[in-house]
Structure 1
Amino acid sequence: MIAALEGGNAERAAFLSLFHDTQESRVTDIPYIGKHYLQATANEQVTDDQVANAPEPVARMMRDAVGEYEQKTSLEAMCARDADKLECLIQAIEYREQGNANIQPWS
């Protein structure tokens, strides 16, 4: 929806959104603070390992999508990243509404 409102290709943004976190199946989701203490493997490298045995057209499609998302080389990639951050904020609001005492007040 964000991509469509920005004049981009909504289907491409949805594709990038769908596959941008596939690396977490191998390395988990390292929190921002944790990245200061851990040496994280680049998402592109994890994707290379994940598609090592895939047919070349599929492997190339996945590498290109992850690279586009990580490098923010398109409007769709930027919109997909914005949507990811928005989803995280919405999830925090949902947790707060469910009574989670660890959610800090929004100011």
Structure 2
Amino acid sequence: MADETANAQGTAGFLFEMGVLKNAKRTGWWFTGNNNPESIAEHSFRVGIVGAVLAMMEGVDPAKVALMCLFHDTQETRIGDIPHIGRRYIEAATNETVTADQVSAAHPAVKAGVQRVVGEYESGDTPEAIVAKDADKL
């Protein structure tokens, strides 16, 4: 029973942390003069829609692509939204490392599932991961 309670609390903590994404703004837009950029959650939602549509057009699994798109920036609750140009100047933990920490106390199925989705996205080795990354760029 203690493990179930700990897993439930860890999973709830992860879900609570993901709620932060709706308040965290995408910082790269500030460089363009946009003083009210979209939140990371808004960005992830749109990337999910774009990714699912692209997947349908490409003949790959749209649900898998949408899931990868949904989770592709969840690490930003801990490391922030580092603009692409800024990444060359800092050494940050990998997204897989951040994700592993985020779900470390979650239910084992949640932990394994989230890590699998993020790992596949980051590896970019599958057709779905390629489509998800394309959706993020669009």
Normalization by structure 1: what TM-score?
0.77
Q: Does 1:73 align with 2:128?
A: no
Q: Give the unaligned 5+ runs of structure 2.
A: 1-52
Q: Which residue of 1 aligns with 2:137?
A: 85
Greater helix fraction, Structure 1 or Structure 2: 2
Number of equivalent positions:
86
Identity of aligned residues (%): 48
2:98 corresponds to: 46
Unpaired segments of 5 or more residues in structure 1? 87-107
Give 2:108's aligned residue: 56
Displacement of 1:48 in angstroms is 0.5
Alignment RMSD: 0.8
Aligned partner of 2:26 in structure 1 is none
Per the alignment, residue 36 of structure 1 pairs with 88
Q: Which runs of 4+ in 1 moved over 2 A?
A: none
SS in 1 for 2:60: coil
Report the equivalent of 2:43: none
